[in-house]
Amino acid sequence: ATEYHLGLLKAKLAKYRAQLLEPSKSASSKGEGFDVMKSGDARVALIGFPSVGKSTFLSLMTSTASEAASYEFTTLTCIPGVIEYKGANIQLLDLPGIIEGAAQGKGRGRQVIAVARTADVVIMMLDATKGEVQRSLLEKELESVGIRLNKHKPNIYFKPKKGGGISFNSTVTLTQCSEKLVQLILHEYKIFNAEVLFREDCSPDEFIDVIVGNRVYMPCLYVYNKIDQISMEEVDRLARKPNSVVISCGMKLNLDYLLEMLWEYLALTCIYTKKRGQRPDFTDAIILRKGASVEHVCHRIHRSLASQFKYALVWGTSTKYSPQRVGLTHTMEHEDVIQIVKK
């Protein structure tokens, strides 16, 4: 009975928390939002407490100068910069510092987190001298507004219906949820007719995430700055943690490795084009996500190209031999060269 009770309480908590976080519908005066127009091939948000070195990092990595000083809250709005790396333009957003209670709207925290939701990767800047406390606090703030860091979407099929009650199935043995608990959670959200299929063993929290449906799952890189102020053993310990990179903006240490990791997390691929009878154009790459097909390349070049597509010739690691004739569904890999033939 305790488990059911806990599951129910979790559902109620999630529901009330969502109601608290939703701003009131009354026509209040519009505050200044500071979302920046999306540009470039990917977007990275810098999140962290005040005075951990976000602005210094932005000024080092990009040609944009963000005001940096040794007092807290130097940055007050969102400052965009662009990193040029391997032919891709990565937009880097320097966001104001977050304080505890940001999810409730303290210190414009809500706007900062709203901008972070639109990013492809979050870089969490932490002060190496007090990293553990900061990390758990920031994770808690982001969790409560529905940003899940370094997690994948729970593999649960969920579809509300008009009638027929709740049909519950699972393809694996469930250790954390049971049919009764699922029904109780659904009733809490006033859902009485639905299809639920568990394809993996998920916790009640993950099931609630699926019902609510507005959760963002994004990769996060924990960056420990100011490593010049701690001992070597401590640096070694931090560097061995999963998803972590240690840097020092003051002494410009390890920044190139951070860029490599960032590229891996963004999962971008460069694809070069080639005209018939000419050498490939290696100056201007098409940047796509990992797993992009020939069709995506066509859409990126021109929207009507896919409808006139006859076949493509591809050179590179994704083919068995070069050049290989491929169709629209062929998956491209990093630094492939493509020549498209129209009907």
Measured CA to CA in angstroms, residue 326 lies from 299, 315, 341, 342 at distances of 16, 11, 11, 13
Cβ-contact 132, 231 below 8 angstroms:
no
Residue boundaries of the structural domains of the chain: 42-151+216-266, 155-201, 268-342
Are 64 and 81 in contact by the 8 Å Cβ rule? The answer is yes
Burial class of residue 142 in the structure, from the number of CB atoms within 10 Å of its CB (0-12 exposed, 13-18 middle, 19+ buried): buried
Question: What is the sign of the dihedral through the CA atoms of 53, 58, 61 and 64?
Answer: negative
Cα R_g (the chain), whole angstroms: 24
Other C-beta atoms closer than 10 Å to the C-beta of 83 total 19
CATH topology agreement for domains 42-151+216-266 and 268-342: no
Q: List, edge to edge, every strand of the sheet that includes 166-170.
A: 156-160, 194-198, 166-170
Q: Which residues of the chain have pLDDT under 50?
A: 24-31
pLDDT at 131: 62
Is CATH 3.40.50.300 correct for 42-151+216-266?
yes
pLDDT digit string (tens) for 148-170? 888 888 888 888 888 888 888 88
Whether residue 129 contacts residue 80, with contact meaning beta carbons closer than 8 Å, is answered with no
Q: Which fold has domain 268-342?
A: Ubiquitin-like (UB roll) (3.10.20)
Q: What is the pLDDT of residue 29?
A: 41
Helix (H, G, I), strand (E, B) or coil at 186: helix
Residue 204 corresponds to which tokens in the numbers above?
């009640």
Q: Does residue 339 contact residue 323 with C-beta atoms inside 8 Å?
A: yes
Q: pLDDT, tens digit, for every residue of 270-291?
A: 888 888 888 877 777 788 877 7
pLDDT score, position 159: 85
φ/ψ (deg, to 5) at 232: -60, -40
In the prediction, which pLDDT does 25 show?
Answer: 45
Cβ atoms of 109 and 140 within 8 Å: the answer is no
Do residues 224 and 238 touch, judged by C-beta distance below 8 A? yes
- CA angle (111 as vertex; 106, 117 as ends), nearest 5: 125
Candidates 257, 260, 284; CA nearest to 272 is 284
The full DSSP string for 22-59 is SPP-S-PPPP--------SSEEEEEEE-TTSSHHHHHH
